Structure 1
Amino acid sequence: MTTVARSPNMTVHETRQRLGHERNSRLTQLSAIEDGAALADPELLTAQTAAIRRVLTEISAAEERVADGTYGACQDCGARVPVERLEILPYVRYCVSCQQRAT
């Protein structure tokens, strides 16, 4: 297990707040999609719902990493994920280099 030192730029509390905000945003999106389901293209509805559920899964995994002290470490190479990247995508698992190789 790789443990990453906490950055003074992003505390555990702030990280949890960001993840909570991301979760709430996605749940709001999911609710809006479900409310408009009767009017939506079924294929688009399925794709949007699946994408949001994937992000919710990523958010839960990030919360687990916060709890076990591995949040902020790239899950591929173990390097520190830049704080700026975590501020934009607080649930991200990989540094930019490893993410580019994976896609």
Structure 2
Amino acid sequence: MSTDVGRPQHLTTQEARQRLEHERTSRLVQLQAIEAGAGPAEADLKSAQTAAIQRVLKEIDAAGQRLLDGTYGTCSSCDTAIPPERLEILPYVRFCVTCQQRSA
């Protein structure tokens, strides 16, 4: 018996857009919290966290562009479909698991 009964096999454009917007909003909230909470002693940590969040925001923007140009959900390296389960977890991901592991 399949555990996927009733689950879509891929994200619709609207679902992908909503997930990307949710990710963007979450990261912006994180940036605000970092700005509000870090003291001078934590400047290096604050800088590293801010840089990491800004990288993710760029990835989210790039995913939005892929959504517009019709390449969203396709691995940027091998051109295979990225599994919907991976896109549910990381809606801005550019690579399938195999290609991501190769680049790491």
The residue that corresponds to 1:57 in the other structure is 58
What stretches of structure 1 move > 2 A for 4+ residues in a row?
37-40
The residue that corresponds to 2:17 in the other structure is 16
Letter in 1 for 2:73: G
RMSD: 1.3
Aligned-residue sequence identity (percent) comes to 61
Decide whether the 8 Å contact of 2:83 with 2:96 is kept in 1. Answer: yes
SS in 1 for 2:94: coil
The residue that corresponds to 2:4 in the other structure is none
TM (normalized to structure 1)?
0.90
The residue that corresponds to 1:77 in the other structure is 78
Which structure 2 residues correspond to residues 19-34 of structure 1 after superposition, within 5 A?
Answer: 19-34=20-35
Q: How far 1:36 moved relative to its partner?
A: 1.1
Give the structure, 1 or 2, with the largest relative contact order (CA under 8 Å, sep 6 or more): 1
Q: Which runs of 5+ in 1 are unaligned?
A: 1-6
Q: Which runs of 5+ in 2 are unaligned?
A: 1-7
Q: How far 1:38 moved relative to its partner?
A: 2.5
How many residue pairs end up in the alignment?
97
